[in-house]
Structure 1
Amino acid sequence: MHYEGAHIIRPPSEADSIILQVTVGCSHNRCTFCGTYKEERFRIKDQAVVEADLDFAAQYCLKQSRVFLADGDVLSLSQRPLVELLSKIKQRLPWVNRVSLYGNAKAIRNKSVEQLLELKGLGLHRVYMGLESGYDPVLLAIDKGADAVAMIEAGQRVKAANLFLSVTALLGIAGSALSLEHAKATGQVLSGMEPNQIGILTLMLLENTKLYRLEQAGEFKLPTQQGMLSELRTMVEHLDLKKGQLQSNHASNYLAINARMPRDKEAVLAAIDQALAGKTRLKPEYLRAL
């Protein structure tokens, strides 16, 4: 398989997937906390290269039943190339039963429900979307490119197309000053989106980001461990989901959670309270990673 760029990333649940790189970098690439693609110019890979990767997968990836389309935002492509790509995957990798990709709010909102349904009919199953925060002042500060209303609209559009929606939220992204406001609003916006899966991550500052430079200048302060846990508790407290999975088992988190909502909500809150009281061993700093 042919990969370009310094980083090829995928969600944890795509660990066993065929990683088919269709674009390089991220179409937005302005988020102040993300350093993944800072050195990359967003571009669409040459069709012949993608075709060669499909040939490789058809010969050597017979035991992998899932495909993840990289890099940061393949959904930003226009409809025709996406239809052609999914059609080729369906034709040449007929054993694949799930195709997934990242999609930001702008890319999702640029697709109609009918277009998303067309992609679903060709094998698209799952859209991973980064919310990070549901609090508009934070979304503006981190240059996310969408406000809370746009985030909810995008999430609801994915759900209207009967696609699986996985959304990430980021503890610490508001800093200590707006921590609980961010947590409350994020819980409320997630409730409005009704994702099938919520993935909680904890902010780790990267040296090649604007947010790191702000922290070094004393203009941004990360919450403490206790602050992160309080944020998590407030976020969960304001979650009102009909059905969904809540996970904080990413390596960046201090406390791992794997729960079904709303069934496990009270148990999750109790577990966080135990951690806040110092009765649960948290992940040590040296084991945390992105």
Structure 2
Amino acid sequence: MRYEGLVYRPPSEANSLLIQCTIGCPHNKCTFCPMYKGTVFRIRPVEELKEDLRSAREYYGDKIETIFLPDGNTILMKTEQLLEILAFAREMFPRLSRVTSYGSARFINLKPAADLQLLREAGLTRIHSGMESGDDPVLAGIRKGATAAEIIAAGLKVKAAGMELSEYVLIGIGGRGRSCEHAAASAAVLNAINPDFIRLRTYIPIPGTPLYEDYRQGRFDLLSPHEALRETAMFIEHLDVTGQLFSDHNSNYAYVNGRLPMDKQAMLAGIDKLLAMPEAAFRSPEAGGL
């Protein structure tokens, strides 16, 4: 198995075999994101990927049950390439129950619905998608490359194909000026999609990114811990979905986890308890990172 550069994967894929199908991100313009900077996006040859799968079989035997396919937006690979990799992975690992990849709305929408259906039938079972926000001004400001309507269209395509969808929301990415709009609009987009999983991250400015420079120059107002918690509460209050919500990242101030709608009030009560604590009890808004 061969890896190039830093390889990122969601926390939920901690026990998955990583087969690095692509190098870097084909978009790579998000103003908040430090990942893949300086990396020219490319797709690895299928034969190389098969060699990696063979190496994994030799090392682990046939015990692998889950695989994640980094890097950013592996969904961009040609459908026939992904189908070949999925078929070979199942040949190597007959116990395989889940194969997942990253896929943002822009690149999901490039796939015909029929292709997504083929990929699901071949074993691609879940897409991790960083929507970040459902607020169009915020999406434009962070150069996400998709609108709220396009995020909804992509999410519905994934769901219609029978795949699980894990959507990521970035608390605080609208700054102080659009906190309420970001919270409400993000919930509205997710209500339209009804994803299987919603995963929260809290924005922390990372040196070397354009948004960090905006923050340092006073053009972006970073939320305080209490402001981020209130935004999280507003977001949850507006949700009308039947999936699971996870706060599975150390950037977050509140670890709210559960199934919606039944656990909503317990989540909000937990945030209320945190809001009763002094802000000095929380990490600095600038501390932390990936």
Same fold? TM cut 0.5: yes
CA contact (8 A) 1:57 1:93 kept: no
Measured in 2, the distance between the counterparts of 1:176 and 1:280 equals 16
Which aligned pairs between 1:160-171 and structure 2 lie closer than 5 A?
Answer: 160-171=160-171
Question: Which residue number corresponds to residue 249 of structure 1?
Answer: 248
Contact 1:129 1:166 in 2 (8 A): yes
TM-score (structure 1 length as normaliser) = 0.95
What is the match of residue 229 of structure 2?
229
Match of 2:196 in 1: 196
Alignment partner, residue 56 of structure 1 = 55
Give deviations 1:203-231, integer Å, cap 9, x for gaps. 11111210001111111110111110011
TM superposition shift of 1:278 = 2.0
Give the unaligned 5+ runs of structure 2. Answer: none
Aligned AA for 1:69? Answer: L
For 2:119 and 2:167, locate their aligned partners in 1 and report how far apart those are by CA, in whole Å: 19
Partner AA of 1:199 in structure 2: R
Q: 2:175 touches 2:220 (CA, 8 Å); kept in 1?
A: yes
Counterpart secondary structure, 1:3: coil
Partner residue in 2 for 1:135: 135
Matched with 1:106 is 106
| 1:282 to 1:272, Cα distance in 2 relative to 1, 3 A | farther
- Aligned-pair CA distance for 1:51: 2.2
With over 3 angstroms needed to count, the CA separation of the structure-2 counterparts of 1:206 and 1:289, relative to structure 1, is: closer
Aligned to 1:8: 7
> What is the alpha-carbon distance in structure 2 between the residues aligned to residue 201 and residue 32 of structure 1?
16
CA distance in 2, matches of 1:269, 1:8: 34
Partner of 2:265: 266
TM-score between the two structures when normalised by the length of structure 2: 0.95
Aligned to 1:209: 209
Distance in 2, matches of 1:41 and 1:12, equals 25
1:44 Cα offset (Å): 0.9
Distance 1:189 1:10 in 2: 24
Equivalents in 1 of 2:153, 2:42: separation in Å? 27
* Corresponding residue number in structure 1 for 2:37: 38
SS at structure 2 position matched to 1:21 = coil
Counterpart of 1:86, as a letter, is: L
Deviation at 1:279, TM superposition (A): 8.2
Q: CA offset at residue 157 of structure 1?
A: 0.7
**1:83-94 correspondence runs (5 A):** 83-94=83-94
Answer whether contact 2:133 2:182 (CA < 8 A) is retained.
Answer: yes
Please give the alpha-carbon distance, in whole angstroms, between the structure 2 residues aligned to 1:59 and 1:281. 51
Quote how far apart the aligned CAs of 1:86 are: 1.0
1:108 CA drift (Å): 1.1
Letter in 2 for 1:21: Q
Deviation at 1:123, TM superposition (A): 0.8
Contact 2:225 2:279 (8 Å CA) reproduced: no
3-state SS of 1:159 partner: helix
Is it true that 1:152 corresponds to 2:152 in the alignment? Answer: yes
2:23 maps to: 24
Q: Distance in 2 between matches of 1:26 and 1:83?
A: 20
Counting matched residue pairs gives 288
- 1:97 offset after TM fit, Å? 1.3
Question: Alpha carbons of 1:266 and 1:280: their partners in 2 closer, same or farther (altered >3 Å)?
Answer: farther
CA separation of 1:155 and 1:226: change in aligned 2, threshold 3 A: same
Q: 1:165 is matched by which residue type in structure 2? A: L
Three-state SS of the structure 1 residue aligned to 2:201 is strand
Aligned residues of 1:74 and 1:103 also touching (Cα < 8 A):
yes
Structure 1 unaligned spans of 5+: none
Deviates more, 1:34-43 or 1:84-93: 84-93
Amino acid at match of 2:56: A
Q: Answer whether contact 1:251 1:287 (CA < 8 A) is retained.
A: no
